[in-house]
Structures are given as C-alpha cells and as structure tokens.
Amino acid sequence: MAQVLEFKLPDLGEGLTEAEIVRWLVEVGDVVAVDQPVVEVETAKAMVEVPCPYGGVVTARFGAEGTELPVGAPLLTVAVGETAPGRPAGDGSGAAADGARDGASGREPAAEGSGNVLVGYGTSQAPARRRRVRPAAPAVNGRSRAPEPVRETRPAGTPQAAPGARTGRTAPADGPVPVISPLVRRLARENGLDLRKLTGSGPDGLILRADVEHALRAAGTQDRTGTTAATAPAATTTAATPATPAATGGPARSTAGAASVTRVPLKGIRGAVADKLSRSRTEIPDATCWVDADATELMRTRAAMNAAGGPKISVLALLARICTAALARFPELNASVDTGAREIVRYADVHLGFAAQTERGLVVPVVRDAHTRDAESLTAEFARLTEAARAGTLTPAELTGGTFTLNNYGVFGVDGSTPIINHPEAAMLGVGRIVPKPWVHEGELAVRQVVQLSLTFDHRVCDGGTAGGFLRYVADCVEQPAVLLRTV
C-alpha cells in the first residue's frame, strides 16, 4: 500500500517565518522525482523554487497562488509507491516506479535521500507517521483527481448545522481569542475586524479563516446596501423614525473618507525591511559623522585603469576596496553585538553588503570575502549580484551574513544621508553623489569633484575616535588613492 507523506514549507533562510506562493510547478496527479522543484515562493528575501524531498504522486496541494503560508505549514502531500492512474508503471520518476514495485511485492517503499538539504528535510529516511490512502478517483484526461477531503462524521441523532451557519462559541470579552493561525489574525487585523465579535465554526469555537472571510464578505455586502455593520449586537425592534439630515449625512461622509484611504500590507520585502529597520533603531545606539572629500584623483585613477584595457572598474568597487583596507586598520567596526551574552563579536573576514534598489524594494546582497578581492573581482561580483537582485533570483545565502555595509545613495542624486545600520552589523558607510564644486586645492580656489562621506556606527562597539579615524582614512584614500599602495 502506498504511503502518503506530507511536505511542509521548510525554513528557507535566516529569520524567515513565512512565504507567499507565486506559482505551482506541479498539478495534483503529477509524478514528481526527489528534489524536483514543485512550487515557486517569494520570501522576504528572494524568489525561491522549493524542491520536494520525496518522489511519488502528488495527491494534494495546500494554498492557491498568492497565499501566504507560515514555515511548517503543509505545502503538498505525495503518495510514495503509487503511480498515476492511466500511466505505465515505468513512466515518471524512478522513485515512483520503484515504490510501486516494492508495494506490489509487499515490501515498504524504499526511502530516498534528498540532495537538496532543507531545514527539517534531506534525511535518508521517511517520516514515521503514515496515513491511509483513499481509493483514487477515476482518471480524467490521463491525470488523477485530488482525493475527496475527509469529512467530519457526526453521531446519529446529532443535529446538523444549517447551510451557511457559523457554529461554535463566541470568545469571552475578557478571555483569549480562540485563534491558532497567525494568518487568520493578520487577515482580521488588516481589515479592522474584531475577532472577539466572531463566532468560530471550528472545534471548540475555533475561529477559522473561512469565518473571517465570511464576516468580511457580509460587511462588504452591507456597505454596498447601506445597512449597519454585521458585527454590531442585535438591537431590539423599535418604531421607525424619520431620518434626519445629520443621520443620513454621517455615514455618507464616513464612506467617502474611507474610500480615499489606501491600506498597503507590510509584507514581503517591504515588511522585512520595516521589521529590520525598526529593530535597528530600537536596539542600536547609533551615531553618525561625515566629511567632504575631494574625489578628483580617485576619478582620474579609475579613468587610467579603464584606459589600460580589460574589464571596466566601477567606482563602487574602488570604494569597496577602500572600505576593506580601512576595516583592516579599524577592525572594531567589522563587528556585531551579542546582546544576550553582552559581548562584542569581531569578525576576521569582511563580508561586504551593498544596498541595491529593485522593483521589489530595497535589498542588501553580500559580497563574500571582500577583503580578498581586487577591484576587478569586486566589480564583477557587484554586477552579478545587482543583476540577480533586479531579476529577483538572489538566494537567501546571498542576502545574509554581512559584516559591514556600503550604501551608495549618490545614485539617487543626493549629497548626504544618515543611514540606518543594517542590523545586526555595527556600521555602514554612506557615499553621496560626486559633483563639481568649488574647492581649495594647493592654496587656490578650483573646481574639483567632491563627495560627501558619512559613517553611521554602533556606539557600543567603539568610541567617536575610532569612528572618526576610520572615516578620515577612507577620505584620505579617496583624495589620494596612492595611500592604498601601502596595504596592497
């Protein structure tokens, strides 16, 4: 007999708690192989194709496209050891065919190991929990249909609820709200719905998503017909009274005001950015210092490099090279704070993050081991990660693990900023636009290429002297790139 295994949404990266289904890659009845991508999801960090660690026949999918699921929620179920009805036994994945042969001989299907190691998956054995497979429905166009959902049975004589009724118990005014799913709470919160005024239809009065959606549909219908809110307590019957202008004008003004307000859910990348920046402002006592620098020689150096042939060197790569040299002199800033242990954690390697604005929002890809790269290698890696960010194909590993961030906000045409530190890092260097300005050069007034540099740092990891020394060294390298030759 086939064994039905449940594949749950795995932990796709550091700190991720949910993902949105973008596109299903398989249908119910399809035969899948071990590690075959089955669904494309969008997390707060990237777009990811999720591979299934089991091989067999897809018997159910959970969640439509556009649905947000928490980590650990079921994604789909796979019947291991069963071939799709209407297909030859040798068709499909090897795992499904082998499982069918094992089932016919009375042996348990052999568990295959998953090469793609997901958190909670990738083991060599299947879970011990088993579920009985219901008889498959007749094939339609060569593809099996999803099994009928298991319906709750009632003892004889138990009255059945009327269609459309919401059964269960209402939450007490001063007690906990009977809701388990965080998605249900979020749906109610985003639509301004008071869960205490709902009656749950689940076991023991549990409020389900269907209850919230039913209440929202009812409220929308009443708004269109001009009736009162469905959640108001039932009023006693009173004699009809003529409507006054104030009574009729109030709801009309309220509805017009509500129509002019747009609510945008904080989810996906926007929600992740909001949470991270809020945490940074809450936990990190940051301070900012800044300085203007003459970048004329830096631009001339870049022009000379590019004139020599070979790949073009970007300004961002030269600034990154200066950053890594400065961090070697001031390692206090290549650190983070472990608040639980009350310790400063300093890193020997520099994993340099850089801010990249995309259509999906702000992301911070990370250049691994930036301190070991030259300007040419840094230019290539910046270009690769920027293209992946715009395409939405960055992996969670490419978006985490940074130790210091370089923020080139000059691309937006601004001179200065006081950036928020990318938690849990300890510092961020901001670079404004490079523009011609009057500048005193060698005792005379001249037009030079000037840039403003700013450093925001965690005051717990160092004092102002260290931060000022770091920023001054960066400015010196910008003004006289030959300073870098001492550390090359």
Catalytic residue numbers read 459
8 Å CB contact between 130 and 136: no
Cα–Cα distances (Å) from 33 to 10, 23, 76, 78, 364, in that order, read 18, 18, 14, 10, 34
> Could you tell me which of 304, 295, 225, 4 has the C-alpha nearest to residue 127?
4
Helix (H) or strand (E) holding 391: helix 375-391
Nearest-angstrom CA–CA distance, 24 and 37: 9
Q: Which amino acid is at 318?
A: L
Long-range contacts of 368-372 (CB under 8 A, 24+ apart): 368/401, 370/320, 370/323, 370/324, 371/324, 371/327, 371/328
SS3 content of the chain, % helix, strand, coil (to 5): 30, 25, 45
How many whole angstroms separate alpha carbon 461 and alpha carbon 421?
A: 13
| DSSP 3-state of 188 | helix
What whole-number distance in Å separates Cα of residue 172 and Cα of residue 193?
16
Whole-angstrom distance, CA of residue 293 vs CA of residue 291: 6
Q: Is residue 305 helix, strand or coil?
A: helix
* φ/ψ (deg, to 5) at 452: -100, 130
Cis omega (within 30 of 0) for bond into 438: no
Q: Which residues contact 440 (CB under 8 A, 6 or more apart)?
A: 446
User: What does the longest C-alpha to C-alpha distance in the chain come to?
Assistant: 101
Do the Cβ atoms of 363 and 390 come closer than 8 Å? no
Closest CA to 131 of 32, 5, 29: 5
Distances 319 to 8, 125, 195, 432 between C-alpha atoms, Å: 44, 50, 53, 12
Q: What is the Cα gyration radius of the chain?
A: 30
CA distance 361 to 17: 19
